[in-house]
Each structure stands twice: as C-alpha cells, then as structure tokens.
C-alpha cells in the first residue's frame, strides 16, 4: 500500500461509521415515537378510567332544581317618573317701595300666611290718612244736606217753600252719598296697599333662594319676585302608562280601588315613598303611544324633591296562589317556552312546553303546563335534552371504578357503599372519586 492510498481508505472508513451511527439514531427515534403515541393517547383519554372512561360514555349532568310553589304575584306597571311640586308660587310684591325687612331664611319651610318681607309702609299710611280725612269731610257734608232736606220737606208740607228747592236739596243729598261711597272705596284701597306692604306666604312649602336684599326697591312688575315657594308636602309624581294598559288602569280606578304607587331611586334599591294613583290625562301622546298619569305622595320625610327622576311601580292587582317558578327555570325556543321537569326517582328530566303569565324580577307565573309541587331545573339546563340522566346537587359521589371495566359494571350504591369485590380487584390502585 502506497502512502497516497492510506488517507483515502481512512476517509472511507470514517464515512461508513458516520452513516451507521446516523442509521442507528434514526431507528431509535422512530422506535421512541411509535411507542410514545399510545401512552400519550392513553393519558389524554384517562386510560379507560375516570369520568371520561368506560368506552367514551358521558357522565350525568349535575343540575340545580327548584319546586313549583304557590305564590301571590303582584301585577306591577314599571315606568320612569318625574317628581313635580303640587304647587309652585313666585311671591311678588303687590305695591312698589323700598324693601325694609326680610324675615325668612333660604331653604326653610314656611306656612301659609307667614310674614316673609316688609316694604316701607309710611307712604301707604299717609295715603290712608288722606283718604280717611276726605271721607270724614264728605260724610259731614252729607249729614248737613240731609238735615236741610228734612227742613225743606217740613216747609213744603206747610206750603211755605217751592217744590223746586226741595228737589234740588234731595239731589244734593244723593250726590253727597255717592261721594261718600267713593271716599270709602279710596280709603279701602289705601288700607289694602298698606296691608300689601307686608309680603306673606300664599302657600305652605319650601322657600328657595332669595333674589333681593334689604334696601332694594321692589314693585309688582318684578319678574323674579321676592322668593319662590314650592309645595313639597304633599307632592306629585308624573309618569306614563302604555296605551295597551290604559283600559285596565281606568277600570281599576273606576272600581274605586286604591292603586298603590311606589317611587324608587335610580338604582331601584331604596323606596323613596309610597303614594296612591291620582288620575290619567285625557289623551294619548301620538309620538310615544303613552298616556300621562299622576300619583300623589305624602312625602313626610321629604325624600322626594321637585324635578327628581324616579322609578315608579304601580300595583294594578295581585294574583293569588299562582304556580310560580324562578326566572332561570324558564327557557325559550322557536316553538315557545318550556321547562325541564325533574323525575326525582329515576334521576331524569322531561322537556315540557309551558305558558307563561305575569312575572317579577325573580319569579314568573306558569299558567299552563305545571302543577304546584313539581320540580324544575334551574341550573345546568344548557347541557340537557329530553329524557337525559341527571345528578342532583345533593347526591353522593359515585364509587371508585364506576362506569369502567367490562360492560354492565355496577356503580356504587346511593348510600356510598363500595363497588363489588371483583371490581376492586381489577382496579386496586384507583383513588376515591372526589365529591361533586
């Protein structure tokens, strides 16, 4: 062998060894992959045991149930209402003058007839004195004219005076009588203006913020007046009634029934007051298809404030002994409403069409399809079908190995007794199933 051929042979031997090693590595990888896949599949399927074992059968669905109970269901009309004051008055002065005193505090409750402010009364006192003096003078002239007329009538009876003089004196008496009447009216006007210098509250209610101060000149033409009084006890709430329910509301009102009305806050959690239905408007709003209605509240605690938005609940009537179920039990489909009725003995459910009636936030009346005392599914109904097997929430768990092994293996008893001895021998390593 020449020195030139030795490197070539060495290179051939090394290439052959590398190729053999690559083949061995590929064979080992292929063996690993072909033997690993069944194990992974067994891990994913639970090795034929557990809830998903037993030949791929689905476990029973755990559901929550409720009993159909007789319940007095109120028929309530819900609406959005606005609180309105029973009366609102802008107190304006009846005469002009300088405001001398303000006798109220902003925001306080006042009573009808209470003195609120005082206008300088001196000019009205002077006017009253003037008209009184004029009246007294004219009354004195009238008295003198009456005495003269009486004398003329005596002389006329004696034919000692002309009749024309008597008639003239009688006319003078009539004229003076008219003057006295006018004087009395002027005096009454002056006295009235003097009384108007005292500004009093025309109604009882809450006083708003004042818009004038002491020393301002006020008059009857002032648009803002001296103060605004809002009557808040009692107070009204205006809301709307859908036109489809107007006939029922009017029928109940015509029967003389006192329809209770409850005003709730914005979150519907707090009752602000309870009142009674008052009246309906005389026409339907064409844009909304509703009729305005009004309810009156005593508002003793002053919880209702004018222009406040509230949620209104009008109680029309109460259905006695209605077969009621939780709202979660009623389901819907293109064929109508239905519920799943529970057969407690067989642990199965049956789909039953029903007819719904009146309802509340939590309960709903079933007018047809259910009887009082039956049980219906309230939770877990999305995974059910007609005749499906179920597990109630209070049932005990299945025994170890239930649903596994050979076909027809018996599950554990309802009282929790273990599976048969042969089943335990087949699966000695199985752990106790956790409670659902």
What is the distance, to the nearest Å, from the Cα of residue 418 to the centroid of all Cα atoms in its chain? 56
Gap between the Cα atoms of 296 and 314, Å rounded: 12
Specify the pLDDT at position 404. Answer: 46
Q: Which of 308, 307, 296, 304 is nearest to 272 (CA)?
A: 304
Gap between the Cα atoms of 169 and 178, Å rounded: 15
Specify the pLDDT at position 409. Answer: 41
Gap between the Cα atoms of 95 and 256, Å rounded: 48
Whether 419 has a pLDDT exceeding 50, the answer reads no
Residue 62 confidence class, pLDDT cut points 50, 70, 90 = confident
Residue 342: partners with Cβ closer than 8 Å, 6 or more residues away: 63, 65, 348, 349, 374, 375, 376, 377, 390, 392
**Above pLDDT 70, what percent of the chain?**
82
CB 367 within 8 A of CB 324: no
User: Which is higher by pLDDT, 428 or 333?
Assistant: 333
Q: Which residues pair with 326 in a beta bridge?
A: 363
Mean pLDDT of all residues belonging to the chain: 83
Residue 82: partners with Cβ closer than 8 Å, 6 or more residues away: 237, 238, 239, 307, 308, 309, 310
Gap between the Cα atoms of 121 and 125, Å rounded: 6
User: Which is higher by pLDDT, 16 or 192?
Assistant: 192
Instruction: Classify the phi-psi angles of 260: left when phi > 0, otherwise alpha if psi is within -120 to 50, otherwise beta.
Output: beta
Task: Compute the Cα dihedral for 378, 384, 390, 396 and give only its sign.
Answer: negative
- What would the pLDDT profile of 296-352 be if each residue is shown by its tens digit? 999 999 999 999 999 999 998 888 888 889 999 999 988 889 999 998 888 899 999
The pTM assigned to this predicted structure is 0.60
Gap between the Cα atoms of 297 and 43, Å rounded: 70
User: Which is higher by pLDDT, 29 or 114?
Assistant: 114
Domains of the chain: residue spans and CATH: 77-84+232-318 (2.40.30.170), 93-120+197-225 (2.40.50.100), 121-196 (1.10.287.470)
DSSP 285: B
Q: What are phi and psi of 163, to 5 degrees?
A: -65, -30
């Amino acid at each position: 062998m020449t020195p030139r051929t030795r490197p070539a042979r060495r290179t051939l031997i090394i290439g052959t060894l590398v190729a053999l090693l690559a083949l061995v590595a590929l064979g080992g990888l292929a063996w690993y992959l072909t033997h690993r896949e069944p194990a992974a599949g067994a891990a994913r399927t639970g090795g034929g045991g557990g809830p998903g074992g037993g030949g791929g059968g689905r476990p029973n669905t755990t559901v929550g149930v409720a009993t159909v109970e007789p319940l007095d269901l109120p028929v309530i009309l819900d609406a959005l209402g606005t609180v309105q004051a029973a009366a609102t008055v802008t107190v304006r002065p009846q005469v002009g003058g300088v405001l001398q005193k303000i006798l109220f505090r902003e925001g306080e409750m006042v009573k009808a007839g209470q003195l609120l402010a005082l206008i300088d009364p001196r000019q009205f006192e002077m006017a009253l004195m003037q008209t009184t003096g004029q009246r007294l003078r004219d009354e004195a002239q009238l008295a003198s004219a009456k005495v003269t007329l009486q004398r003329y009538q005596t002389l006329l009876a004696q034919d000692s005076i002309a009749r024309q003089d008597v008639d003239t004196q009688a006319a003078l008496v009539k004229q003076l009588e008219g003057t006295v009447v006018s004087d009395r009216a002027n005096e009454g006007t002056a006295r009235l203006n003097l009384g108007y210098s005292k500004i009093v509250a025309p109604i009882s209610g809450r006083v708003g913020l004042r818009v004038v101060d002491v020393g301002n000149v006020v008059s009857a033409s002032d648009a803002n007046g001296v103060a605004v009084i809002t009557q808040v006890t009692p107070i009204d709430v205006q809301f709307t009634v859908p036109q489809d329910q107007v006939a029922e509301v009017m029928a109940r009102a015509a029967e003389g029934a006192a329809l209770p009305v409850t005003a709730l806050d914005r979150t519907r959690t707090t009752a602000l007051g309870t009142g009674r239905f008052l009246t309906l408007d005389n026409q339907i709003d064409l844009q909304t298809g509703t009729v305005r209605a009004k309810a009156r509240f005593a508002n003793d605690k002053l919880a209702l404030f004018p222009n406040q938005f509230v949620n209104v609940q009008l109680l029309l009537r109460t259905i006695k002994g209605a077969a009621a179920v939780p709202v979660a039990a009623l389901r819907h489909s293109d064929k109508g409403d239905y519920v799943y009725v529970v057969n407690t003995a067989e642990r199965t459910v049956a789909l039953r069409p029903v007819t719904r009636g009146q309802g509340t936030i939590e309960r709903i009346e079933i007018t047809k399809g259910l009887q009082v005392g039956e049980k219906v599914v309230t939770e877990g109904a999305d995974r059910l079908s007609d005749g499906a097997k179920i597990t109630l929430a209070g049932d005990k768990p299945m025994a170890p190995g239930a649903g596994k092994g050979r076909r027809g293996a018996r599950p554990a008893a309802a009282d929790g007794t273990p599976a048969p001895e042969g089943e335990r021998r087949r699966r000695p390593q199985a752990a106790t199933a956790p409670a659902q």
